[in-house]
Structure 1
Amino acid sequence: MSEPEKSASWEREVLEKLALAALKEQRVARHWNIFFRILGFSFLFLIFFSVMGWIGNNAIEITGKHTALVELNGTIASGEVSANQIISGLQAAFKDKNTKGVILRINSPGGSPVQAGQIYDEIKRLRVKYPNIPLYVVVDDLCASGGYYVAAAADRIYVDKASLIGSIGVLMDGFGFTGTMDKLGVERRLLTAGTNKGFLDPFSPVNPQQENYAKVMLEEIHQQFIKAVRDGRGARLKETPDMFSGLIWSGEKAVSLGLADGFGSTEYVARDVIHAENVVDFTPQEGFADRFAKRFGVALGKNINPLAAMGMELH
């Protein structure tokens, strides 16, 4: 073979090797690309199934007698700690055949009088339906206003000496911007069909008639709150002139006033009161989609409903 032929043959071999190497590299890259796509889609499907509640459910495996625990931790409102959430947990706790007693552990500053009232009523109903299963409230740091409204339905209330209890009152808060608007030279143009459609509008001067109407409404709700406390606590309550004024007391003072029954933690009540040391948590866990939907709904509702925006709460 001549030198030119050898040179051409060598160049051809090199080109073939380079082409094969490039082809092999493309195949490897394609395989890795397919692998990462499958991995990505699998991850997305996993997230989707988790959000939809099709996998990773919180089924509780229970054996033997136990104390059922439901947590009420935070503001009582449809977008935060809702009545539906707490009621669902309580119903599951009472329904379980191995539940010997239920603890509702509360750490709440209060919230919606409607949501608190719904939980209160459901506790009363469950106690009638399951007369042999007691329900005790254990207070952590705070059990005020709507939180105490709920607690008053329990068979007993246990606190820490330093817990904060009470605030039996109702408020409606908001802001008035008329002075600011005057300084800025802004004119409010509010058109309504219905004399009170702009009820307590924060950009308009206070209407004395609407203000008086709101006070009457707050007093009605306050009396509902007071009745719930009296019905729930009964003869244990040692009423004072300022008991329903909105004041708050320490756990130690609350016991002496009959607003609470004694001192104790969750572990103490489960072990020494219910006599079922094994504690099973029945608190429903909401998924991301549920939390987002509820918070979006609350924000939208406040923009539409002026009373919601003013924040009527048990405090």
Structure 2
Amino acid sequence: MNPYTQLVSILSSPSARFYCNEAEIVSALVSVMKFIDVAHVTEEQFPSYKTQVASIFGVVNPITQEKEIHVTTDYASQEVTPGSLAYYPIMGMILSDSRWWFSSKQFVKDLQAAEANPMVNAHFLHIKSGGGEAWYMDRVAETLQSLKKPIYSFVEKVAASAAYYIGVHGATIKASTQNDLIGSIGTLIDSLNFMPYFEKLGIERIREVATKSDLKNKKYEDLYNGKPEQFIREELDPLQQQFEAAVRAARPQLNDLPDDDPVFRGESYYASPPAIDNKLIDGLTTFEEALYEADTMGKEWAQLQRNRKSLMSYI
């Protein structure tokens, strides 16, 4: 499987649900169209996300060294500088399992490794994504909610849908410019129906179900036949409810909003003033200042832990 076949297989599956804006889907498709007829894709042609992270970190690290802030993507290493920030680039399409895109499953493992690492003081989420696959996002939210170390979310250009689902767990959420796009708290299916194409090729589909299997894939067949009501009610609406509940739990500032507020109906906003006014983010900042703020949060948390430990020794 190459990046093209993986992405198309997900987009053509009726069971794939997304927390994603249209721009991210289009961007992901455009990036892989050149691999339609390529059996094997090399690391040079389409680098793995791990390689992309290393490249991003290569740009970030000199900035942090100049500021005397220590960051790491080696989340479990005991060899990193004490008091480091765990740095997570969350960029592009979000998928549950992927070599080429951000993997929500790997993210959970990385969070847990950094949380358990005494050399790490805080988690820094660097977000530039329009979202992605809905599956496994509940586990991501549970993991983020369980963390004791502070989380700082920095948005560069866009934090929409699944990306905002992740970023909302930051104790502080700030964007880089007033024109960054924030929100899109919504759920959709954006599936590719290849059947008309196959029919033009003369490929006939034969489908029958057992007498007692009348409901087998029925709601998916109805969806493709222009009757999406059951699919929306049973597949999309529950995911939307989970999404909204997770956002409200992570960001109590939004709890005063009614259920029918545009914020919870999939609307997206520029960072400033609307996203700030709607309490989706806390403000604007530069990347360097965000790192400094996150580093300060981490140091304050570490000092608090030391104070508590010292106090307990007297009890």
Fold shared per TM-score above 0.5 = yes
Q: Percent identity?
A: 26
Determine if contact 1:103/1:135 at 8 Å carries over to the other structure: yes
The answer as to 2:215 corresponding to 1:196 is yes
Q: In 2 relative to 1, CA 267–238 (structure 1 residues): closer, same or farther, beyond 3 Å?
A: farther
Matched AA of 1:125: S
Provide structure 1 residue ranges, at least 5 long, that are not aligned to the other structure. 1-56, 279-315
Provide structure 2 residue ranges, at least 5 long, that are not aligned to the other structure. 1-72, 300-315
Q: What is the 5 A alignment of 1:245-256? A: 245-252=265-272, 253-256=274-277
Q: What is the 5 A alignment of 1:138-157? A: 138-157=154-173
The answer as to 2:124 corresponding to 1:91 is no
Q: Following the alignment from structure 1 to structure 2, what is the Cα–Cα distance between the partners of residues 203 and 212?
A: 8
Determine if contact 2:150/2:298 at 8 Å carries over to the other structure: no
Shift of 1:167: 0.9
Q: Following the alignment from structure 1 to structure 2, what is the Cα–Cα distance between the partners of residues 166 and 155?
A: 17
* TM-score, reference length from structure 1: 0.59
* TM-score, reference length from structure 2: 0.59
Q: What is the 5 A alignment of 1:5-84? A: 61-77=79-95, 78-79=97-98, 80-84=101-105
The answer as to 2:203 corresponding to 1:206 is no
The answer as to 2:128 corresponding to 1:124 is no
Q: For residue 166 of structure 1, what is the aligned residue in structure 2?
A: 183
The answer as to 2:279 corresponding to 1:233 is no
Partner secondary structure for residue 165 of structure 2: helix
Q: Following the alignment from structure 2 to structure 1, what is the Cα–Cα distance between the partners of residues 113 and 284?
A: 27
Q: In 2 relative to 1, CA 155–197 (structure 1 residues): closer, same or farther, beyond 3 Å?
A: same
Higher RCO by CA contacts (8 Å cutoff, separation 6 or greater): 1
Q: Following the alignment from structure 2 to structure 1, what is the Cα–Cα distance between the partners of residues 224 and 92?
A: 34
Q: In 2 relative to 1, CA 137–272 (structure 1 residues): closer, same or farther, beyond 3 Å?
A: closer
Shift of 1:263: 1.4
Q: Following the alignment from structure 1 to structure 2, what is the Cα–Cα distance between the partners of residues 63 and 175?
A: 48
Higher alpha-carbon Rg: 1
Q: Following the alignment from structure 2 to structure 1, what is the Cα–Cα distance between the partners of residues 107 and 223?
A: 39
The answer as to 2:131 corresponding to 1:110 is yes
Partner secondary structure for residue 170 of structure 1: coil
Shift of 1:183: 7.5
